[in-house]
Structure 1
Amino acid sequence: MSELLRLARYWGYRIATAESCTGGLVAAALTDVAGSSDMFDRGFVTYSNQAKIDMLGVSPEVLAEFGAVSEPVAAAMAEGALAHSAADLAVSTTGIAGPGGSEFKPEGRVCFGLALRGKPVLVETVEFGALGRDKVRHAARDHALGLLIRAMR
């Protein structure tokens, strides 16, 4: 975390998070660091589809077409976090931590969005597998933090 803080200070970036399946774990990890107010602007926990629409401006049509656990929704969440904050960099998480899932959207699938102001949004999906709810959520948190670090290197 100290590297993330150092890089954000170096580039002068403020960070926002838009989280669904991680339920605020990314924001909590960022704010656990002393001095994080230099880099952290705000976090959105948008667990329901309606929260994604209301707080981040995610299109109901995109949610209906692709479902909440999808790269288009992860991208829209990251873009929405930038649009509704003073941040320069935003990361989003949306996935199925478990238990459950389906043949098409299995447990452990998490979609990530990474938005840097003025650049195209990057998205990726990671299949963590059926590790159990807690482990999937923490693995997704760690992956999101890694995305933020890589974006600033």
Structure 2
Amino acid sequence: MHQLAVIILNYFSSPDKINKEKTIIVNLLPYVDNAKVDIRKLRDYCLNPDHDDGKHKAHLFSSILGMTADNAEELRQIIFKMIKTHEAKLGRKDKYGQRYTVDFTLKWQNKSAIIRTGWIIENHSKIPKLTTCYPL
């Protein structure tokens, strides 16, 4: 897995406190720079209120954040940015490949929600592909 070192500086206002530095290692999505997010997955599925399976996700995006299918490209760019700084959690491995989950906080038009993204790296591939995306 790719890793990202995040340095957190804790500053204290009183002179008797010592500034502290803490490093946290975050496991990123493997091959994160190769990640693929098909715009149709967002526009026609996750943000589509008429899709049989995706309509519930679309309702959540709309009611919590005010996002619609018109915002698919913006969401796509946000996902690309967030997966480069947020931890990937290892999921199940099946006959199709290895699955991962990346959660992040999305701030949109004075609203905020935790977004869960699902990924698969198919067997013998080095390309993470978005499989799902929805607000928690």
TM > 0.5 between the two?
Answer: no
- Using structure 1 for the length normalisation, give the TM-score: 0.29
- Using structure 2 for the length normalisation, give the TM-score: 0.31
Q: Which has the higher strand share?
A: 2
Q: Which has the higher helix share?
A: 1
